[in-house]
């Protein structure tokens, strides 16, 4: 009879440890799902902010075909340069900001949308006069 009391205690301890492990695993799954959904939402907002920058750039070019914000940079489509060091015109919206960059004498311009941790870079190649978009891509 004394041995049975010890077995019950061991059974309760093992069952408690198992339930705690399951609770920790479930908490981690829920947190990872939330964090992923938040990052996807931020990226989507950054994309639309970059789109707003594209529209701002189109408006600038429609009024002044010689408009530019930075000197030519090589290599072309350098996303790191665009995200960190490019000189451009900044715009702000409630959900974030965008940076519109056009290199001097280049038939393309870029827009970098920023929403908290997410950054999206869009590129537009165009024909100057009259303004016509030839290619739109995400970098």
* Domain residue ranges in the chain: 2-138
Q: What are phi and psi of 11, to 5 degrees?
A: -60, -40
| 80 contact partners, CB below 8 Å, separation of at least 6 | none
Q: Report the distance separating Cα 34 and Cα 136, nearest Å.
A: 32
Residue 96 pLDDT grade (very low, low, confident, very high; cuts 50, 70, 90) = very high
pLDDT of residue 26 exceeding 90, the answer is yes
CA distance 32 to 69: 40
Residues 99-136: tens digit of each pLDDT: 999 999 999 999 999 999 999 999 999 987 777 888 88
Give the Cα separation of 109 and 125 in Å (integer): 7
């Amino acid at each position: 009879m004394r041995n049975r009391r010890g077995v019950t205690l061991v059974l309760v301890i093992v069952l408690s440890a198992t339930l705690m492990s399951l609770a920790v695993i479930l908490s981690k799954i829920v947190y990872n799902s939330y964090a992923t959904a938040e990052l996807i939402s931020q990226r989507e907002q950054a994309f639309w902010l970059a789109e707003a920058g594209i529209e701002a750039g189109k408006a600038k070019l429609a009024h002044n075909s010689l408009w530019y914000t930075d000197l030519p940079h090589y290599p072309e489509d350098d996303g790191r340069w665009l995200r960190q060091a490019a000189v451009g015109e900044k715009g702000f919206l409630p959900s974030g900001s965008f940076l519109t960059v056009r290199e001097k004498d280049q038939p393309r311009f870029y827009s970098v949308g920023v929403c908290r941790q997410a950054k999206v870079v869009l590129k537009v190649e165009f024909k100057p006069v009259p303004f016509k978009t030839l290619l739109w891509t995400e970098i």
